[in-house]
Amino acid sequence: MNYSKYFSSDVPSFLRSPVREIFRKVDLSAICSFAGGYPAACTFPLADIPGLTERVLEKYGTKALQYGATQGVPELRELIASRYGVPVSQVQITTSSQQGIDVCARVFLDPGDVVLASNPIYLGALQSFKAYRAEVVDLNDFMAGEGVVSQTHGHPWPYKREGPTAASSDALRVGRGRREAKAVCETVPSSAVKFIYVIPDFNNPTGKTLTLAEREELVALARELDCLIVEDSPYRELRYSGEAVTSIRELAPERTLQLGSFSKIFAPGFRIGWIIGPEELLEQIYVCKQCLDLCPPVMDQYLAAEFLGSGLLDANLVKTIAEYRRRRDLMVSLLEKYMPAGVSWTYPEGGLFLWLTLPPAVDTVALYDRALAAGVAYVAGSFFYTDGSHRNTMRLNFSFVDEAKMEPGIKLLASLLRDAAE
Ligand SMILES: Cc1ncc(COP(=O)(O)O)c(C=O)c1O
């Protein structure tokens, strides 16, 4: 039977995640995997779960097994509101922050609308934006502090442009400060830009953190364009060094939807996240979520509330941060020890990832099967680029690998890269 006629016209825009494909093919525990973004299992509060479950069932009984409010259970919303200093009315619980991204795309984007985002970009966000047939325009040069929002028209990333076409009269022009001289995005109508998508803290994939000045400039740009900002913040609480930088939501609460997640500070298996944002925007997200899942998982929300409210989350976070700081430092010291000349990497102040730039001759896509056969996995950096470029880059995760496997893994990777560069 030919099923193709049954699929909607959105289906060809669905992007398959190369990272998930890697997971399907390989038993990651059998090799040294720097590929995924999985938290370390040792950070999960396994021993606390029976006690938490017992307390939740004692407190809430069958309510914990019933449908709940679409906005999320009040107990969890209140705890998040007080942790981040916002009114409860500005908190929507989501079934993970991936759903937060998707629901923003679904509520705000029409086909052809523009999302300004850094390139490389988090794949899950790219998948959502593409599924709603939006255009992703590169904010990367701007983020790198070069003062340029580069326009990426005609880049070969496989989507169909269906939205408003270029009109020089209302073209997006960046007219402030150092960006003035380099007004770009000239062919993107500013009215088509719906939001800026940004991971300001410990970016996935690059590990970079935006400075306060960069955040302020980004907010100024959003105000100039009169667009929203989706601040994706699943790693914000995982800082291992340096000082916390004011969040974009704090700088521009009137136009920012800040996405948070319990995945990296509790356990991703619960699939609980949240959105903080203006009530009027959350109201539409609330209506949209009714048809997505009716409500986030109730038992999981109560467990998260109990974990957060009892102080266990903060105690566990201290241990998690110490664990990840050690792993980051170990990986950096191993890279320094083993990597050949011409390889450079980011030094993340938090989060789960390092980003490597290799000599131009090294093709990390071509090298991948050899690396896997030898017993080490990474994610080729080009997978995160909307045009598949930058094949001499790679993302390395330092949270998942057993520390004992890290040295042989980096040593092996370094020798593969040395051979590939010759
Ligand atoms: C930047 C970013 N956003 C969102 C997510 C999704 O996280 P979750 O859906 O588990 O909350 C991830 C997961 O790795 C991520 O790296």
Q: Are residues 107 and 155 in the same domain?
A: yes
Q: Are residues 151 and 279 in the same domain?
A: yes
Q: Are residues 400 and 271 in the same domain?
A: no
Give me 336's structure tokens: 């320094």
Q: Is residue 101 part of a domain?
A: yes
Ligand 1 residue neighbourhood (C-beta within 6 Å)? 37, 96-98, 122, 124, 199, 204, 232, 234, 261, 263, 268, 273
Closest-CA residue, ligand 1 atom 1, reads: 204
> Last residue of some domain: 257, 288, 311?
311
Q: Closest ligand 1 atom to the C-alpha of 203?
A: 1
> What letter represents residue 356's amino acid?
L
Q: How far is the CA of 77 from the centre of ligand 1 (A)?
A: 20
Q: Closest ligand 1 atom to the C-alpha of 272?
A: 11
Q: How far is the CA of 111 from the centre of ligand 1 (A)?
A: 24
Closest-CA residue, ligand 1 atom 5, reads: 98
Instruction: Give the structural domain span for 264.
Output: 66-311
φ and ψ at residue 316, rounded to 5 degrees: -70, -35
Q: Closest ligand 1 atom to the C-alpha of 261?
A: 11
Q: How far is the CA of 1 from the centre of ligand 1 (A)?
A: 37
Predicted confidence at residue 141, as pLDDT, reads 52
In this structure, are residues 78 and 155 in contact, taking their beta carbons and an 8 Å threshold?
A: no
Q: How far is the CA of 142 from the centre of ligand 1 (A)?
A: 23
In this structure, are residues 17 and 362 in contact, taking their beta carbons and an 8 Å threshold?
A: no
Q: Is residue 56 part of a domain?
A: no
Q: Are residues 140 and 200 in the same domain?
A: yes
Q: Are residues 304 and 336 in the same domain?
A: no
> What letter represents residue 111's amino acid?
P
Q: How far is the CA of 105 from the centre of ligand 1 (A)?
A: 15
Q: Are residues 85 and 144 in the same domain?
A: yes
Q: Is residue 407 part of a domain?
A: yes
> Last residue of some domain: 263, 293, 311?
311
Q: What is the CATH number of the domain that holds 172?
A: 3.40.640.10
**Segments of the chain with pLDDT less than 50:** 142-184
DSSP code at position 38: P
Q: Are residues 299 and 353 in the same domain?
A: no
Residue of 44, 98, 203 to test ligand 1 pocket, by largest number of atoms within 8 Å of CB: 98
Predicted confidence at residue 191, as pLDDT, reads 76
Q: Are residues 41 and 96 in the same domain?
A: no
pLDDT digits (tens, 9 = 90+) for 230-241: 999 999 999 999
Q: What dihedral do alpha carbons 312, 318, 320, 325 form, nearest 10°?
A: 170
Q: How far is the CA of 413 from the centre of ligand 1 (A)?
A: 26
Closest-CA residue, ligand 1 atom 6, reads: 98
Q: Are residues 31 and 103 in the same domain?
A: no
Dihedral of alpha carbons 55, 56, 60, 66, sign: negative
Q: Are residues 160 and 219 in the same domain?
A: yes
Q: Is residue 148 part of a domain?
A: yes
Q: Is residue 151 part of a domain?
A: yes
Count of the separate structural domains present in the chain: 2
In this structure, are residues 137 and 188 in contact, taking their beta carbons and an 8 Å threshold?
A: yes
Q: Are residues 272 and 400 in the same domain?
A: no
Give me 230's structure tokens: 């989706």
Q: Are residues 299 and 318 in the same domain?
A: no
Q: How far is the CA of 170 from the centre of ligand 1 (A)?
A: 35
